[in-house]
Structure 1
Amino acid sequence: MTTDAPSPHPPVRILLAEDQVLVRDSLKVLIDTTPGLAVVGEAGTGAEAVLLAHRHRPDVVLMDVRMPDMDGIEATRRICADPTVAGVRVLILTTFDLDEYVYAALRAGASGFLLKSATATELLAAIQVVASGEALLAPTVTRRLIAEFLHAPRPAPAVRDLDGVTQREREVLTLIGRGMSNSEIAGHLHLTVGTVKTHIGRLLAKLHARDRAQLVIAAYEGGLVTNPSARPTP
């Protein structure tokens, strides 16, 4: 008689924050039937999302932007600013029509965003990426996000103090802000990918950034990116 071997890793624990019950139920079925993933809570408002994040301490909060009582941006800010739930990461659900909300959510501490038009496969992959500690910001999406922010009429971004950041780190940060991958940065600066990762690690520490998503924000709040659609010359 044989028994199933226990899973070598605990499942990724997910909190769903979505006010539309039908959408939330569909997400729950999809996630709960995927090996390695488990829904541990469901919230219909931003306030409930904050409460349940404290109660369940999930690995990932899948957060809708527009919700009653408290929107997803404010809920994200409260979760990410609270040291008692450190390690809880937020993945924002949005559309390209809401780019300004995406920027605000990233500044609030979100680790990335996903379009509501994404496929089930893309959603599941996004959850795994964020749960692993990475930021979900594809280079092409990064460029679009910053371009939309800079070209649309809205208040000027905050000024980021880059004192203590070396010249080489500024170069790396600039290229991150332009949406370049680690391998692209390495090729452009004639460095190894390992060296680029080292610089990124130092930038994260110096700028008190949670992940690459916040480094993108720091790049143009520090005035390093003014035309993100332009690729740097070799």
Structure 2
Amino acid sequence: MDKLLTFSDVELYYDNVHALKGVSLDMDEGETVALIGANGAGKSSVLRAITGLKRIRSGEIVYQGERIDAREPDEIVRMGIAMVPEGRRVFPYMSVKDNLLMGAFTRIDRTGITATLDMVLDRFPRLKERYSQAAGTMSGGEQQMLVIGRALMARPRLLLLDEPSLGLAPKLVQAIARSIVAINRDAKVSVLLVEQNSRMALRISQRAYALSTGRIALSGRSSEILNDERVRHLYLGGEL
């Protein structure tokens, strides 16, 4: 497989807070890769660095063979990277339809947008049922489907998901997990999944990285990490 994304010794700060400390990781084309770790470990900072929402202080981020760590966020979206932020940030007073179309704002291929919209509605039938409804009146699970669908409207090659299971009931977590698997398998979209729900993340990904206080604590095949005693120490505050 070709390398889709490579982090090399990335350092990132929020003022004097050292959020990422020499982080190196990579993704192959077609993979689902999980980033797990406790709250504040640096998982979301990795996504913010990729999308250009936060500038790195040093290191390199390479996507499809091109450095992107100095590019603007809108340019990064046009290169094929879409992000679903934590917290289900819908446009609450806009309809489901208009929320979805906002995801295609960088595209000019009108016919292609219509085809993508049909694909998203087929993947998430509940959105078709709620098509004219204001997004803010939907349940949390429905809003999560909407923000994932909105990201897919950009027709990304790499989808970044920040805590998609947060605050959802177990049944809805399972539904979102199945959707992520289908997006990766059927739509051929690579997925970088940030999750505190490590069991779910490890079960639906091929590889994983565990972060601890801004550093990569361990990495490997998800099936192996799922049964690794050290993962429990990450959540219990122990030392690796």
Greater length-normalized contact order (CA 8 Å, ≥ 6 residues apart): 2
Q: Which structure features the higher share of helix residues? A: 1
State the TM-score, normalized to the length of structure 2. 0.32
Tell me which structure has the larger Cα radius of gyration: 1
TM-score by length of 1: 0.32
